[in-house]
Amino acid sequence: MENLTLSGLLKRTASEFPSRRAISVSGKFDLTHARLQELIDQAASLLLASGIVPGDAVALTFPNTVEFVVMFLAVIRCRATSVPLNPAYTADEFEFYLSDSESKLLITSQEGNQSAQDAASKLKIPHLTATLPAADAEISLSSSSNTESKPDLVGKLVNDPSDVALFLHTSGTTSRPKGVPLTQLNLASSVQNIKSVYKLTESDSTVLVLPLFHVHGLLAGLLSSFAAGAAVTLPAAGRFSASTFWSDMFKFKATWYTAVPTIHQIILDRHHSKPEPAYPKLRFIRSCSASLAPSILARLEESFGAPVLEAYAMTEAAHLMASNPLPEHGGHKPGSVGKPVGQEMAILDENGVQQPAGVSGEVCIRGPNVTKGYKNNPQANKEAFKFGWFHTGDLGFLDSDGYLHLVGRIKELINRGGEKISPIEVDAVLLSHPDIAQAVAFGVPDDKYGEEINCAIIPREGSDIDEAEVLRFCKKNLAAFKVPKKVFITDCLPKTATGKIQRRIVAEHFLAQISTARVPKFGA
């Protein structure tokens, strides 16, 4: 395990399954595993020729395209660090992320990204574009100098497990984003864990619906498939499209997909309003990155005839920490996010004492997939790495069967007069109402109880649900102290790039509007 690298895993896959399809761009072209490796080495030689050396950070901002995939893996092959960035960032955000990652080069699609380029220019970071016009063409990098590729140098480079291969930032939903360096060993360990728990093989195929600048789509969808010799398809639009999703799943013989709850809901809503004539036979559907309401899980299974496996993950663990197993290995346990996968997990109290089954505490992990620490952030490291464990900030318990049940983020728990309320539990009840499309519960200051619970909902299209009906439903399905005191009805909720609702921002927004009758749009 200590000599494991992601680059080595993918090279081995290419030698074992050279002619099997690795990646397709819907409606454009396919690449085999062997051809993908050729392009990675070719792009790596171009990067070396442009001056990139081991240890350099290279920022990449693309839609979900084959150029991104090739350049991401080429940077790693050079023993440099890939820094994928959300193309939707503002110039100020790009400036922060480029500066914090200490990027030496920015690479974009041929179309470019003006905000990223402006930030790079301000920081005096060079900018190149990457283009792959056809499957049998060579990838090209724009450059002010006519440097030639250096394949001989690529061949001499040996990737090391300790190389920092990926630099991501936490989502920043509860605090300032923290820089997370992940090594070749971290990434290789994680894809091995994902491949193992879902029994991925060269016969599997998936359509990527999540952005590749995020750890969920990158590790669970893309890299784990490559490590298994399996195939992935990128939508022609470079992002998720509900209108083309099932046609792509059929065309490319998909056997599974992974998504966040928001996308699952979009897929379900389309199924309800415009069902397909038939659906492919899937081995499983995976959900991660946010809590999946039991009602949504049940509807997915009923609609598409496949088991839904909820998982638990975070950037600092190179994605996967726990997952419900496939039916033949125990299956999904209601209310849980599954069993630990490929790492140790413990529930600790505030003194670092391990808690017995059924007793709540902080979820803590350790293993070869876990980062060694945040970059340039000693205070965060002090809080996160105690008693020999990485502290996730999540509250939960392990049951007698070893399944993890999450109660909520420690910082998001609502303390109402000494009663601790999990907003995740309230979310699930709200989402079980047939007229509620999206919902989020949150705490607000209260003179009497210290904190009180409020919620915001988005009604389903055509519904005229009001606050009185929401409260009636909550009183029927929740203990009295968990019933929201106020309900906000809106048409949008702020989300991260992967669709996770930003509870803290929702709370701040509605707290500011609590004395007004009109609830404006976010950002208005």
CA dist 354 to 211, 316, 339, 372, 399, Å? 37, 21, 17, 22, 14
Are 464 and 357 contained in the same domain?
no
Are 362 and 452 contained in the same domain?
no
Which amino acid is present at 128? L
What's the pLDDT score for residue 146? Answer: 45
pLDDT above 80 (res 17): yes
Angle, in degrees to the nearest 10, between helices 6-16 and 33-49? 140
Q: Three-state SS for 288?
A: coil
Residue with tokens 């395209």: 65
Pairing assessment for the beta strands 389-398 and 404-409 based on DSSP bridges: antiparallel
What's the pLDDT score for residue 145? Answer: 44
* Nearest CA among 233, 232, 134, 214 for reference residue 170: 214
**Angle (CA) 110 224 30, round 5°:** 45
Are 450 and 352 contained in the same domain?
no
Residue 280 in any domain: the answer is yes
The range of the structural domain enclosing residue 68 comes to 6-395
The CATH number assigned to the domain holding 131 equals 3.40.50.12780
The pLDDT > 90 percentage for the chain reads 76
Are 450 and 382 contained in the same domain?
no
Distance CA 451, CA 377 (A): 31
Q: How many domains does the chain have?
A: 2
pLDDT above 80 (res 152): no
Residue 405 in any domain: the answer is no
Q: How confident is the model at residue 524 (pLDDT cuts 50, 70, 90)?
A: very low
Model confidence over 275-289: pLDDT tens digits? Answer: 999 999 999 999 998
Residue 312 in any domain: the answer is yes
Under 8 Å between Cβ of 193 and 35: no
Residue 520 in any domain: the answer is no
pLDDT above 60 (res 483): yes
Model confidence over 435-446: pLDDT tens digits? Answer: 999 999 999 988
What's the pLDDT score for residue 2? Answer: 59
Query: For all residues of the chain together, what is the average pLDDT?
Result: 92
Last residue of a domain, one of 341, 366, 395: 395
Model confidence over 61-114: pLDDT tens digits? Answer: 999 999 999 999 999 999 999 999 999 999 998 999 999 999 999 999 999 999
Under 8 Å between Cβ of 195 and 201: no
What's the pLDDT score for residue 441? Answer: 94
Are 343 and 383 contained in the same domain?
yes
Are 132 and 232 contained in the same domain?
yes
Under 8 Å between Cβ of 42 and 151: yes
Are 386 and 501 contained in the same domain?
no
What's the pLDDT score for residue 508? Answer: 84
Distance CA 221, CA 214 (A): 11
What's the pLDDT score for residue 521? Answer: 56
Pairing assessment for the beta strands 231-234 and 140-141 based on DSSP bridges: unpaired
Q: How confident is the model at residue 522 (pLDDT cuts 50, 70, 90)?
A: low
Are 324 and 254 contained in the same domain?
yes
Model confidence over 124-147: pLDDT tens digits? Answer: 999 999 999 999 999 999 964 445
Residue 406 in any domain: the answer is no
Distance CA 5, CA 161 (A): 5
Residue 447 contacts by C-beta under 8 Å, 6 or more apart in sequence? none
Residue 489 in any domain: the answer is yes
